[in-house]
Amino acid sequence: MEAHHQQEFTEFVTARTHALFRVAYALTTNQHAAEDLLQSALAKAAARWSRLTDAEAYVRKILYHDYISGWRRLRRRPETPVGVPPERRVSDSADHTVLRLQLLDVLRHLPPRQRAVLVLRYLEDLSEQQTAEILGCSTGAVASQASRALAKLRDHIHPTLEVTR
């Protein structure tokens, strides 16, 4: 990598690490696995840096593809339980917090493709169409995976917590 490209790349990584790492962590739920996933995606971006027109879009796409690809999994470390419950939001009701903790538990056990769809739709707030473009599949497949994931979430949360506002 030429010096000016290296500088550009380093600046890009410095500026975007926080946002990209959040995605990697939401996907892997593990610090080391998230580092592995992001480092690999960034390495691919580094190898093609001079040819990339939208580096962030490229890295995001690779993050999701690599995460879903089953053959990366040998590298994953064991999942570590959350030692401390996530910080509570001030406005939460007790039920809402319990619900969120239950959802976190179920999220950790979703199959990769389903979790990826939820991360894209509910963390990154992307549309079905945008999600499909990143995952390289149809919007129907996105809807199907989201539906299956949400059904699992519903199945595993306490029924009394499903209160419509």
Partner 1 sequence: MTHDIDQALRDALADLADEGKPVNLAGPAIRLGERRRLRNRIGITAAGFAAVAALTAATLPWHGSGASTLPVATTSTPAATKGPTQLPSMRTGPIRLTDGWLLGGGSSTSGTWYLDRVKAQYRQSSYYTVPAPVGNLVAVNDRERARMGVLDTGNGGGNHVQWLGEKDDGSMVPEWSSDGTALLYPGTQHTVIARESGLTFTKGPACTRAPRWLPGDIEVACPTAGGLQVFSATTGAPTRTLQLSLPAGAELGPAHTWSPDGGRLVIVGSNDRGEQVPVIWDIATGATVPLTSAAGNDARTAYWVDDNQVLVIGHFEIVLFRSDGTVAATWRWPAEFADDELPNFTLVRG
Q: Which of positions 93-122 make contact with partner 1 (CB under 8 A)? A: 96, 99-101, 103-104, 107, 109, 111-113, 118-119, 122
Angle at 160 between CA 122 and CA 116, to 5 degrees: 20
Please answer whether residues 129 and 121 qualify as being in contact, where contact means their C-beta atoms are separated by less than 8 angstroms. no
Q: Does 71 bind partner 1 (CB under 8 A)?
A: yes
Q: Does 127 bind partner 1 (CB under 8 A)?
A: no
Contact characters 8-37, partner 1, x per CB under 8 A: -xx--xx--xx--xxxxxx--x-x--xx--
Q: Does 42 bind partner 1 (CB under 8 A)?
A: yes
Nearest residue (CB) to partner 1, 53 versus 81: 81
CA of 36: how far to CAs of 6, 19, 111, 135, in Å? Answer: 20, 16, 19, 20
Please answer whether residues 126 and 134 qualify as being in contact, where contact means their C-beta atoms are separated by less than 8 angstroms. yes
Q: Does 132 bind partner 1 (CB under 8 A)?
A: no
Nearest residue (CB) to partner 1, 53 versus 164: 164
Q: Does 63 bind partner 1 (CB under 8 A)?
A: no
Q: Does 128 bind partner 1 (CB under 8 A)?
A: no
Residue labelled with tokens 């610090």: 31
Rounded (10°) angle between helices 139-156 and 94-107: 120
